[in-house]
Amino acid sequence: MQSNKIIEITSAQQVLNDLAQLTKFRLTVSVVISSLAGYFLATDHADYFTLFLLILGGFFMVGASNAFNQVFEIDFDKLMLRTQNRPLPDGRMNSNSAMFIGVALTILGVAALYIINLKTAFLASISIFLYACVYTPLKQKTPLSVFVGAFPGAIPFMLGWVAATNEFGIEPGVLFMLQFFWQFPHFWAIGWLMHEQYETAGFKMLPSGSKDQNTAFQIVFYTIWTIVISLIPAFKYTGDLYLTYQAAILIMLFGGVFLFYSVNLMLCKTDKAAKMLIRVSIIYITGVQLVYIIDKYLIQ
C-alpha cells in the first residue's frame, strides 16, 4: 500500500514536471511578469480582477505557444542535447496530448483576456500565431526567424498597458520597441552559445550563420539601439510614459553594463562571453522595467 502511494506521488510529480517543461514554466512566468510591469506603468489604481485575468490569460497564452512550438519541433528536439529530455522527444508525452493542452490553454487564455478587453485578446492571439505558425517553421529556413520571433516576444510588455487602458498609443509602442530590440542581443547570445546544437538540428539563428565578427557587431549594434529606446521617455515626448532624470541615469548605468558585455563578446568571441551577455541582458531588461515602475510610483 505504501509503495503504491509513493508510485502515485512520483507519477503525479512527473506529470507536473512534464507540464512545466511543455509550457516552459519559468520562461512563461517571466513573460507574465513583463506584462504586469506594463500594466502597472499604465495605471495608478490597479483592478485586482483585471490583474488576475491578465496573469491567468497571459500564462495560458504563453504556455500554449511553447506547447505548439514543441509539438512542431519534436523531431528537431531529439537532435539537441538541451532538448532531448523534454516530454515529447523523450516519449513521456505524445503529440496529440500536447496539442490538446496547447489548444485548451489557447481557448482559456483568449477567454480570460477577452474579459479584460478585445484588444488584449487580439494582440495575444497574434502573438501565438506568429510564434507557433511563422517563427517556428522559419527557424529551419532563415536567420530572419529571429526578427519575426521578436514580434510575439515584444508584445507582453505592451500588452499590460493595453489591458489597463484599452488603448494602443505611443506609450505601449515604446514599451514594444524596447523589448523588441532587446531580444536581438539576448537571443543572438543564446544562438552563439548553442550554435553547434542549433546547427545539428538545422536551425539558422545567427544573423551571419556563424560565430563571427558580423554577428558580434550586430549584437553590439542592437544593444545600442535598445539603450537609446529605453531612454526615450526621459525626453517626455511619450505621453503618459515618462522618466525623471534620476531614473534616466540609472537606466544609462544598466545600459553601460549591457553594452560593455556586448562589446566584450565582439572582442573575445567566446562562449564564456556569450553566457555572460545572456545573464546581463536578463538583468538589464528586468532592471529597466523595475526602474520604470519605481520611478512612476516613488519618484514622480
| Distance of alpha carbon 131 from alpha carbon 152, whole angstroms | 6
Q: What is the pTM of this model?
A: 0.91
Q: What is the pLDDT of residues 196-239, one digit of tens each?
A: 999 888 898 999 999 999 999 999 999 999 999 999 999 988 99
pLDDT recorded at residue 158: 94
Sign of CA dihedral 29, 61, 202, 179: negative
Q: Which residue has the higher pLDDT, 3 or 82?
A: 82
Kindly give, in sequence order, each residue whose CB lies less than 8 Å from that of residue 283, ignoring residues fewer than 6 positions away: 254, 257
User: Percent helix, strand, coil in the chain (nearest 5)?
Assistant: 80, 0, 20
Q: Where are the domains of the chain?
A: 1-166, 169-300
> Helix 95-116 and helix 118-129: axis angle, to 10°?
150
Q: What is the mean pLDDT of residues 165-183?
A: 95
Q: Does the pLDDT at position 33 exceed 90?
A: yes
| Distance of alpha carbon 90 from alpha carbon 275, whole angstroms | 27
Q: What is the pLDDT of residues 244-275, one digit of tens each?
A: 999 999 999 999 999 999 999 999 999 999 99
pLDDT recorded at residue 164: 95
Q: What is the pLDDT of residues 40-90, one digit of tens each?
A: 999 988 899 999 999 999 999 999 999 999 999 999 889 888 888 999 998
* Amino acid of residue 76: F
| Distance of alpha carbon 88 from alpha carbon 42, whole angstroms | 39
pLDDT recorded at residue 2: 52
| Distance of alpha carbon 251 from alpha carbon 284, whole angstroms | 9
Q: Does the pLDDT at position 17 exceed 70?
A: yes
Q: Give, for 58, the enclosing helix (H) or strand (E).
A: helix 48-72
**1-166 is classed in which CATH architecture?**
Orthogonal Bundle (1.10)
Q: What is the mean pLDDT of residues 19-35?
A: 91
| Distance of alpha carbon 196 from alpha carbon 206, whole angstroms | 11
Q: Give, for 140, the enclosing helix (H) or strand (E).
A: none
* Amino acid of residue 269: K
Half-sphere exposure of 112 (CA within 13 A, CB side): 20
* Amino acid of residue 224: I
Q: Which residue has the higher pLDDT, 5 or 157?
A: 157
> Helix 2-23 and helix 48-72: axis angle, to 10°?
90
pLDDT recorded at residue 12: 73
pLDDT recorded at residue 81: 86
